[in-house]
Amino acid sequence: MGCLFALFSLFTPRLVLAILWLTGYLEVSFGSWFWPTVGFLVAPTTTIAYAVAKQDLSTGSGAITASGALVIVIGVAVDLGLVGGNARARRRKRRERRRAAWSGE
For the stretch 26-42, pLDDT in tens is 888 888 889 999 999 99
What CA–CA distances, in Å, run from 42 to 13, 39, 104? 11, 5, 41
Band (pLDDT 50/70/90 cuts) for residue 4 is confident
Least confident of 14-18, 33-37, 38-42, 58-62: 58-62
Residues 92, 93, 98, 100, Cα dihedral to 10°: 120
pLDDT exceeds cutoff 70 at 86: no
Please enumerate in sequence order all residues whose Cβ is within 8 A of that of 21, keeping only pairs 6 or more positions apart, or say none: 27, 36, 40
Integer Cα distance of 35 and 26 in angstroms: 10
Beta bridge partners of 64: 58
Total-model pTM: 0.73
pLDDT exceeds cutoff 80 at 84: no
